[in-house]
């Protein structure tokens, strides 16, 4: 099945391919000729090949996105922000999910490079850093989301949350709700998790509330959350609030607490990261990331392609609902 090409259109309109190209892209053409060409385009149902256009332009118009896990509400809103900017710039989004597998991360970034994407947005781990660095140097702007990059070359940008501030905001809210003994669940050892814990500890310390090392437990997967919560609840003094440092663990933590028949704020306080659709219905207080905005800005950096590395930091926002109790 051979598709109609510009040559077919040229033959049908009895002009050269150059003239057809000029009609399509707005060159200097007599109106009468242009009409003939448009007639041929319509009757042959000609759709120009964007790939060929791109190879001539040196790169395609699509924006590449390599993402950890679409399931997380943070990433979902991020995608919507990216898509918004892409649509406004006649770009498409080329998308690949890594499911936290390092081998897929590297393979997908490589494939995006081969596709000569206009720019690349990466939310995955450090395994891709070397490759994105080379891509940036070679002229493809890259934006790392949710992680700052040390000593970035021109073309390598980053978009992050102020995680230290997020931790401090958590501390403020917990204190104002009267909590004095906090148990923390972290999703891993990435810098974002560490900084949130650090900010939380600093904020609590200013009010004289300690956060011992062993009051922070790590669950690297949702399946580990229940046991981790068990450990936290078994500590003495018994925690009066549970803090979850990652939005993708919210459901698992909620389930672990519910299965122990604990309700909030009555039995225990519950504070977590990232707003989500069911948050209002469940009355869960969260520290929200402006994820839609972060996606938009990341895509805008790709489109603008600034000379100097851009490092954008966004402020976290407390959305106080009922799960931590009343503020005083």
Partner DNA sequence: GTCCGGCGTGTAACTAGTTACATCGGCAAG
Partner DNA sequence: CTTGCCGATGTAACTAGTTACACGCCGGAC
- Cβ proximity to DNA: between 55 and 207 the closer is 55
Q: Going by DSSP bridges, is the β-strand pair 156-161/142-145 parallel, antiparallel, or unpaired?
A: parallel
Fill in the per-residue mask, 38 to 57: x = in contact with a copy of itself (CB under 8 A), - = not in contact. -------x-xxxxxx-xx--
Least separation in angstroms between CB 21 and a copy of itself = 15
Cα separations (Å) of 74 from 57, 70, 274, 292, 304? 34, 9, 7, 8, 24
Alpha carbon distance 238, 221 (integer Å): 24
The correct pick among 12, 34, 62, 179 for binding a copy of itself (CB under 8 A) is 62
The residue (of 28 and 261) whose beta carbon lies closer to DNA is 28
Residue 328 binds: one of DNA, a copy of itself, none (C-beta under 5 to 8 A by kind) = none
For residue 123, the minimal CB distance to DNA (Å) is 27
Contact call for residue 110 and a copy of itself (CB under 8 A): yes
Q: Name the residue nearer to a copy of itself (CB basis): 41 or 164.
A: 41
Tell me the window of 52-60, 138-146, 244-252, 281-289 that interacts with DNA (CB under 7 A).
52-60
Place of tokens 């440092």: 245
Cis peptide preceding 237, ω within 30 of 0: yes
- Residues interacting with a copy of itself, by CB under 8 A? 1, 3, 45, 47-52, 54-55, 58, 60, 62, 70-71, 76, 79-80, 83, 87, 90, 92-97, 104, 108, 110-116, 134, 138-139, 251, 254-255, 258, 277-278, 280-282
């Amino acid at each position: 099945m051979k598709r109609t090409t510009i040559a077919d259109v040229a033959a049908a309109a009895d002009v050269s391919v150059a003239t057809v190209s000029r009609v399509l892209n707005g060159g200097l053409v007599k109106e009468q000729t242009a009409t003939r060409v448009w007639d041929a385009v319509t009757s042959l149902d000609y759709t120009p090949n964007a790939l060929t256009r791109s190879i001539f332009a040196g790169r395609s118009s699509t924006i590449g996105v390599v993402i950890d896990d679409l399931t997380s509400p943070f990433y979902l809103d991020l995608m919507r922000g990216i898509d918004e900017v892409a649509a406004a710039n006649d770009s498409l989004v080329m998308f690949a999910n890594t499911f936290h597998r390092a081998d897929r991360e590297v393979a997908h970034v490589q494939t995006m490079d081969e596709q000569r994407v206009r720019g690349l947005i990466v939310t995955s781990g450090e395994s891709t850093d070397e490759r994105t660095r080379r891509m940036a140097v070679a002229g493809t702007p890259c934006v790392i989301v949710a992680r700052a990059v040390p000593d970035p070359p021109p073309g390598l940008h980053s978009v992050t949350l102020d995680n230290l501030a997020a931790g401090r905001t958590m501390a403020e809210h917990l204190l104002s709700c009267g909590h004095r003994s906090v148990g923390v669940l972290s999703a891993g050892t990435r810098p974002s998790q560490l900084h949130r814990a650090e900010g939380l500890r600093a904020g609590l310390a200013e009010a004289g509330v300690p956060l011992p090392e062993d009051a922070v437990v790590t669950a690297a997967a949702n399946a580990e959350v229940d046991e981790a919560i068990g450990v936290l609840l078994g500590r003495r003094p018994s925690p009066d609030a549970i803090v979850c440092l990652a939005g993708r663990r919210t459901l698992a933590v909620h389930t672990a607490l519910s299965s122990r028949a604990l309700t909030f704020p009555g039995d225990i306080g519950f504070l977590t990261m990232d707003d989500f659709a069911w948050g209002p219905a469940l009355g869960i207080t969260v520290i929200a990331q402006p994820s839609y905005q972060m996606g938009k800005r990341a895509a805008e950096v790709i489109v603008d392609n600034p000379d100097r590395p851009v490092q954008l930091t966004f402020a976290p926002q407390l959305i106080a609902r009922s799960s931590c109790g009343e503020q005083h």
